[in-house]
Structure 1
Amino acid sequence: MRAAIRTTYEVTEQETGERLDKWLTERLQEDDVDISRSVVQQWLKSGLIARRPAGKVKASDAVEDGQQYDVEVPEEEPFTVLPDDIPIDIVYEDDDVVVVNKPRGLVVHPAAGHPRGTLINALFAKGIKLSSLGGEMRPGVVHRIDRDTSGLVMFAKTDRAYYALTEQLRHHTVERKYIAIVHGRMGHESGTIEMPIARDPQDRQRMAVIEGGKRAVTHFQVIERFDKYSLVECRLETGRTHQIRVHFAEIGHPLAGDQVYGRRHTLPIDGQALHAQTLGFDHPATGELVTLTSELPTDMAGLIENLQAGRIG
């Protein structure tokens, strides 16, 4: 039995003050690690969790902005990412960063019980080397989008890039715009949804708007209205798990095709009608602004065309 560092987690300003065991449990669960708070408490007692640069930790510690924690998990064998020859659309690549236009249905990185067939496996098959920061299952992963969301996602190829890009995300300076089809005709042309989000205590697989949850802010602009649906551009200020899906469901306009937060009768699409269309960041080496866009996938483009023609909805 060996202990391997799986990942390093950093506390954000909004998370300051949370108990260490609660904070770590939520962060691990967000990364698809099937773990309970009691197990995290055992790891803390066993010394499998350490604060950088050094120092003893206990479950009741209050985390502070900028603190970093290394988490080790006992494993029989070290995890190795294996290459999978999956076609992917690389829209940008240099020595520091690679950005991929992810298709709907593809998982971003391996997880427990899902070691193959992910975007990371596809990048490895192309010989692309990623930063080891992020952990064995998430090398170079700066941010994620859901399996059934399409669009732009970026990865760090160097440690310098990983630190720079995650810092930009932490300070909300990365531009992330999504296009969504939502149920109902939205009454406002634009607006901001600010509702705290946390894991649903009744169902660990879902997120929910919960008092005391993490700050979550989504800005939106209505692009076009149809009979029973609206086409909306969403801009993330924060990036909580399932944020857009939870926010729009909460205000009565769930995303079309969302099998978790949406409605039973919806548009014919395999997954939520959500596409990460625009990604903008300061290059970690040059400091120059990089702004990338991607076209809507054919399934969403087809739905919009049919909605505009009145053939559906």
Structure 2
Amino acid sequence: MGEQRSLPVPDGLEGERLDAALARLFGFSRTRAAELIAAGDVLLDGSAPAKSDRVHAGAWLDVVIPAPPAAPVPVAEPVPGMRVLHEDDDIVVIDKPIGVAAHPTVGWTGPTVLGGLLGAGHRVATSGAAERQGIVHRLDANTTGAMVVAKSETAYSRLKRAFKERTVEKRYHALVQGHPDPLRGTVDAPIDRHPAGDGRFAVVAGGKPSITHYDTIEAFRAASLLDIRLETGRTHQIRVHMSAIRHPCVGDLAYGADPRLAARLGLTRQWLHAFSLGFEHPATGEWVSFTSDHPADLARALEIVRAES
């Protein structure tokens, strides 16, 4: 059961759309407000309204705010294809395969890095929320490559700080459409949730500062292989920034890639791979770095592009 709230519309919201008024009153997104209205959880002066209805000061609002879903817990089961690149008492560095999320989230029913490690008998740090134990950074479910997980509490706090203070070197390889001009450069553009509210992100004024450095490794007829260094680590950052400069990752249909090119290369996801990860070891303080080879689907697509050029 949710929480029942009843209150008059404040004077300051006179004439606002109902979805916008609810968002301001209760601090959730307009998309969430529209969902509650559509579900019949909002009454305006006793009747079921539309999200675009204008509200008047003093009108009576009855809102049922559903209880937040319980945080999902990791399912401990081995994940096929998830290799361990390095392990010691403090950290485990894995090579994350396609279709694996970092940790459980509401709505994700697929395998997770955390569940895979627990299922293979690895110990992970217990700091942080139960569903994210030991997770100090994430890769998108369909982005492959090197990822570190903390095993000790010390490693968890030190790595969290290293990622926050940007002392970790995160290098990616991305196959993007066309040829970026200049061949090497920096994209410095703020990122936040896409206004469409569909799970995508976008360059948005007032978003979180986001900086991506890129360098062209190899140029082909239809695409370019880039070496990318992330200074910040926003969700979908490389995908959003490459799309913003009109060179989306090949195969990244959500961010404007050409579906015909993706089909020709046999890609069912964005061509993006976390190629290497370097950081100060949380226990010894020495600089360590780990690399991950291109997985089969990306390697095959790259071969085709190279052969066609």
Residue type at the aligned position of 1:225: A
1:269 is the counterpart of 2:267:
yes
Give ranges in structure 1 of 5+ residues lacking alignment: 2-20, 40-72
1:17 match: none
Which of structure 1's runs of 4+ aligned residues deviate more than 6 A?
Answer: 73-78
- Cα distance in structure 1, aligned partners of 2:69 and 2:275: 41
Task: For 2:297, give the aligned amino acid.
Answer: D
**Matched residue SS, 2:130:** coil
Contact 1:198–1:210 at 8 Å: present in 2 too?
Answer: yes
Task: Give the superposed CA RMSD.
Answer: 2.8
The answer to whether residue 104 in structure 2 is matched with residue 110 in structure 1 is: yes
Q: Provide the rounded CA distance (Å) in 1 between the counterparts of 2:199 and 2:113.
A: 21
Distance 1:287 1:193, change over 3 A: same
Deviations 1:241-285 (A, max 9, x none): 000000000000001011210323322212100000010010111
Q: Aligned residue for 2:193? A: 199
Match of 1:56 in 2: none
Aligned to 1:260, the other structure's residue is in SS state helix
Change over 3 Å in CA distance of 1:121–1:225 after alignment to 2: same
Deviation of 1:80 after TM superposition, in Å, equals 4.0
CA distance in 2 between counterparts of 1:164 and 1:258 reads 34
Closer/same/farther in 2, CA of residues 209 and 78 from structure 1, 3 Å limit: closer
Q: How does 1:204-283 map to 2 (within 5 A)?
A: 204-263=198-257, 264-267=259-262, 268-283=266-281
> How far has the Cα of 1:78 moved from its partner?
7.8
Decide whether the 8 Å contact of 1:245 with 1:255 is kept in 2: yes
Distance 1:104 1:77, change over 3 A: closer
1:85 and 2:78 are equivalent in the alignment = yes
Instruction: Report the AA paired with residue 269 of structure 1.
Output: L
How far did residue 186 of structure 1 move?
2.2
C-alpha spacing 1:79/1:231, structure 2 compared with 1 (3 Å): closer
Instruction: Identify the range of structure 1 (262-271 vs 78-87) with the bigger mean alpha-carbon deviation.
Output: 78-87
Conservation of the 8 A alpha-carbon contact between 1:256 and 1:262? no
**Which range moves more in the overlay, 210-219 or 104-113?**
104-113
1:291 and 1:228 map into 2 onto residues whose CA distance is: 32
Report how far residue 234 of structure 1 moved: 0.5
Distance in 1 of aligned mates of 2:194 and 2:287: 37
| Cα 1:146/1:80, change in 2 over 3 Å | closer
Query: For residue 170 of structure 1, what is the amino acid of its counterpart?
Result: K
Unaligned runs of 5+ in 2: 2-22, 37-65
Provide Cα deviations, 1:158-194, integer angstroms capped at 9, x if missing partner: 1111110011111111000000100112232211000
Of 295, 298, 303 in structure 1, the residue corresponding to residue 296 of structure 2 is 298
Answer yes or no: is the 8 Å Cα contact 2:175–2:250 preserved in 1.
yes
Counterpart CA distance in 1 for 2:108 and 2:100 is: 12
Could you say which residue in structure 2 is the equivalent of 1:94?
88
Q: State the shift of 1:201 in Å.
A: 2.2
User: Which one has a bigger Cα radius of gyration?
Assistant: 2
Question: What is the CA-CA distance between 1:85 and the residue it aligns to?
Answer: 2.4
Residue deviations 1:180-216, cap 9 Å, x none? 1001122322110000000112224010101110000
Larger deviation, residues 239-248 vs 157-166: 157-166
The 5 A counterparts of 1:1-313 are: 80-87=73-80, 88-114=82-108, 117-263=111-257, 264-267=259-262, 268-310=266-308
The amino acid that maps onto 1:173 is T
Instruction: Compare 114-123 and 129-138 and name the one that shifted more.
Output: 114-123
Amino acid at match of 2:78: D
The code of the aligned residue for 2:88 comes to D
For residue 105 of structure 1, report the CA deviation from its aligned partner. Answer: 1.6
State the 1:139 CA deviation: 0.9
CA distance in 2, matches of 1:80, 1:129: 16
TM-score (norm 2): 0.75
Normalising by structure 1, we get a TM-score of 0.74
* CA distance in 2: counterparts of 1:241 and 1:78, whole angstroms: 20
Contact 1:81 1:115 (C-alpha < 8 Å) held by counterparts: no
Give the structure 2 partner of residue 59 of structure 1.
none
Instruction: Determine if contact 1:103/1:150 at 8 Å carries over to the other structure.
Output: yes
